[in-house]
Structure 1
Amino acid sequence: MSVNYAAGLSPYANKGVCGLPEVFDSPEEVRAKVETLAQLIKESQYMVVHSGAGISTSVGIPDFRGPKGVWTLEEKGELPHFDTTFEDARPSLTHMALLGLQRAGYVKYLISQNVDGLHVRSGFPRDILSELHGNMFVEQCEKCGRQYVREKVIGVMGLKPTGRYCDVVRSRGLRACRGKLISTILDWEDSLPVRDLNKADEASRRADLALTLGTSLQIKPSGDLPLLTKRNGGKVVIVNLQPTKHDKHAHICIHSYVDEVMKQLMELLGLDIPKWEGPTVCESSTPTSEHSNDVKPGHDDAILFFIFIVC
């Protein structure tokens, strides 16, 4: 989702359809559709959200295939405009609204194609989040599976070693693991992380409502996961400015800015949008007390949190 990220990927020819014209519903159409969405959410027993690059454009991170997207401009021989760095980027209204929906019990699982780390930095629980393409702030021990969430971007991609080693000690008196830490960011031909993909697949099959936000749904297998919900009798709602390959399968397609849709949705559900108070990492969606699993770094902390991943 950034120019730096795109530049670090290997050359690849098939980047999907880029630069499709944006479509805007009228304000009245948007309101009516969001009202329908709010009712679907109230009736849902298990809603899964699928997020793409379009939820981060409002905070200065360009998307890929929009009119000013990274790949769109690349096809024209132009460079995209990038308003912020990954470290300085703040979660958008949509990121924080999703956290509010999760805390209210509406969002059961979140599947993201984004690598900007904003879901994690917003405080969304990592145990109900699949980051299918990796996270610029996360490195993982290739030996024991521990993941470290850093304050700064890792700096390497393609599952390559970062130059650091795992310092986790499983039991007192034993030596640290010392396994090599590797980037979690995928390159084009890398396989998706098994754990994240399996959990995303399971959640998509279980869901009775799939809400897709800011994604053209072009990249497989991520983009096809909402169809698993549809095939099992659930409904799919797509919020995107450009047409997507799965519009024909959607119960509703809302063509509007994602932040505007989420703002109206939260109002209709009677929910406040949480205020962002700096990078916060939450391991578990079931804390023993309110937000007790949230971890905020001090100014000198290199690690926000680490979590054991069973691969």
Structure 2
Amino acid sequence: MSCNYADGLSPYHDKGKLGLEEKFDKKDDVIAKVRKLASWISESKHVVVHTGAGISTSAGIPDFRGPKGVWTLEAKGEKPNINVSFNDAVPTKTHMALVALVKAGKVHFVVSQNIDGLHLRSGLPRSNLAELHGNMFIEQCNQCDSQFIRQAATTSVGQKCLGTNCPSVRLNGRPCRGKMHDTILDWEHNLPEKDLALSDFHSCVADLSICLGTTLQIVPSGNLPLHTKKHGDCGRVVICNLQPTKHDKKADLIIRTYVDEVMEGVCNQLGISLLDFSSSLDPTKQNGNPISWTIPTSEVKRMRKVYETVCCKGAKKGRQEKKKSPCQKILKFRKNNLLQKSEEMDPSEVKIEDSSEEKMEVKPDTNQAPFKNLEKSEKPEEESEQPPHKIIKVEFKDEVNN
């Protein structure tokens, strides 16, 4: 569980404020706020949801800094009482509501800090999901960067070798020869570049950002919802969390109650049926050929064009915009790194080797250029749920160094 995951991380002394008090809105206020949120979702053109550990606590997975969080109890010399494993946990109402909202075209993208794999197991499409801190049910090749779904949660943390061979082969028939690694980030690791790029693009395009079960302290993921405010009065930020968050003062709406109650109410207001979880549709329970979880490079290119269309209007050809959005300066670095193919691999697509003559094609990300190392400048004011990064403050400079 999350306590085993926390134990697997490298030692890190600054874990933020622990055990902050949880607050609850009055029932009538919650009903009114849920109606307003549903109305805003209907009015918005591009909705992005940012999820943290708080959406998985009802599945039996403890958070880290809540009143009964892993690190809160650790500071008291205690261990959380856990009776469910990552393999046995099932998606919550919030997870299933997000799947229903995505299928209905109401939510366009989900940015998650969670490593529990419940978004994957709920049936949320890869094209609508970025996992910034990794996934216990995903393994990745260290050569071609192809990702595949595991049938059981990994027992390792920190992008360690799992000892299995990459199932990908080049179209010319040559095997990849890479080794599979877990995708779980440790404190010092860089964020997965394609996931971060898509998170940047979608967050900048979004006119409504909804934050569920997160106190937004981990950066850069905690600052992504604020990109919505660049749209002025048309950009809204909604926070649903029991504890205070880093960006409460910048939120247009704050809902203090359980996220399951909020998301079930939103679906009811929009006339969308809440889907039930079915293990038969859980991709981690499927047998047969390995299932790809790789983000196609074409999807990153597509979203870059959308971002440039929506957020870069008025820029003169051959000249930079006078006022750049926060992610544009990162993109200057990524332009020459993110979408280039690795010299170690053939630039063509790869396919999955099967015992039969029929072969399934997948498109791997063939470059894992690192995100820049961010310097810690100050301690956070509040608590966060998912720990894979240092709690630091990002200030974008004119140039981004590799």
TM-score by length of 2: 0.71
* Cα distance in 1 between the residues matched to 2:204 and 2:99: 22
1:309 is displaced (CA, Å) by 3.8
Per-residue CA deviation, residues 55-96 of structure 1 (Å, 9 max, x unaligned), is: 000010001111001111112221112231000010000000
Larger Rg: 2
Instruction: Provide the residue aligned with 2:254 in structure 1.
Output: 253
Match of 1:290 in 2: none
Match of residue 127 from structure 1: 127
Separation in structure 1 between the aligned mates of residue 163 and residue 96 of structure 2, nearest angstrom: 33
Aligned length: 296
In structure 2, C-alpha distance between the alignment counterparts of 1:279 and 1:223, rounded to whole Å: 34
User: Aligned partner of 1:99: which letter?
Assistant: V
Deviation (angstroms), 1:175: 2.5
Q: Tell me what 1:287 maps to.
A: none
Number of the residue aligned with 1:71: 71
Contact 1:34–1:265 (Cα < 8 Å) also in 2: yes
Q: How far apart are 1:145 and its partner, in Å?
A: 1.5
Tell me, in whole angstroms, the C-alpha distance in 1 between the residues paired with 2:278 and 2:178.
34
Take 1:254 and 1:179, find their aligned partners in 2: how far apart are those partners?
46
Q: Deviations over 1:102-143 (max 9, x none)?
A: 000011110000000000111101122110000011111111
Distance (Å, rounded) in 2 between the aligned partners of 1:214 and 1:296: 24
| Runs of at least 5 residues in structure 2 that lack an aligned partner in the other structure | 295-362, 368-402
Equivalent residue, structure 2, for 1:204: 203
- Counterpart of 1:52 in structure 2 is 52
Structure 1: which 5+ runs fail to align? 282-294
Counterpart secondary structure, 2:210:
strand
% identical equivalent positions: 53
> In structure 2, what residue type is equivalent to 1:152?
A
Q: 1:232 to 1:17 in 2, by over 3 A?
A: farther
The whole-number CA distance in structure 1 between the counterparts of 2:177 and 2:21 is 50
What one-letter code is carried by the residue in structure 1 that aligns with 2:260?
D
Structure 2 distance, partners of 1:20, 1:279, is 39
Taking only aligned residues, the RMSD between alpha carbons, in angstroms, comes to: 1.6
**2:341 paired residue number:** none
Alignment check: 8 A CA contact 2:19 2:65 kept: yes
Give the equivalent residue in structure 1 for 2:310.
Answer: none
Quote the Cα distance in structure 1 between the aligned partners of 2:16 and 2:229: 23
Looking at structure 1, the residues matched to 23 and 289 of structure 2 have their Cα atoms a distance apart, in angstroms, of 43
**2:50, 2:110 within 8 Å by CA — same for their partners in 1?**
yes
Take 1:200 and 1:80, find their aligned partners in 2: how far apart are those partners?
A: 32
Secondary structure in 1 matching 2:144: coil
Q: Which residue of 2 aligns with 1:222?
A: 221
The 3 A distance-change label for structure 1 pair 152 and 301 is: farther
Q: CA deviation at 1:151?
A: 1.1
Normalised to the residue count of structure 1, the TM-score between the two structures is 0.91
| Distance of 1:297 and 1:240 partners within structure 2 | 32
Native 8 Å contact 2:152 2:284 kept in 1: no
Q: Is the 8 A contact 1:48 1:207 kept in 2?
A: yes
Matches within 5 A, 1:1-311: 2-171=2-171, 174-233=173-232, 234-278=235-279, 280=281, 297-298=285-286, 303-307=290-294, 308-310=363-365, 311=367
Q: Deviations over 1:189-213 (max 9, x none)?
A: 1111111111101111110000000
Q: State the 4+ residue runs in structure 1 displaced beyond 3 angstroms.
A: 295-298, 300-309
Counterpart for residue 316 of structure 2: none
Cα distance in structure 2, aligned partners of 1:228 and 1:306: 27
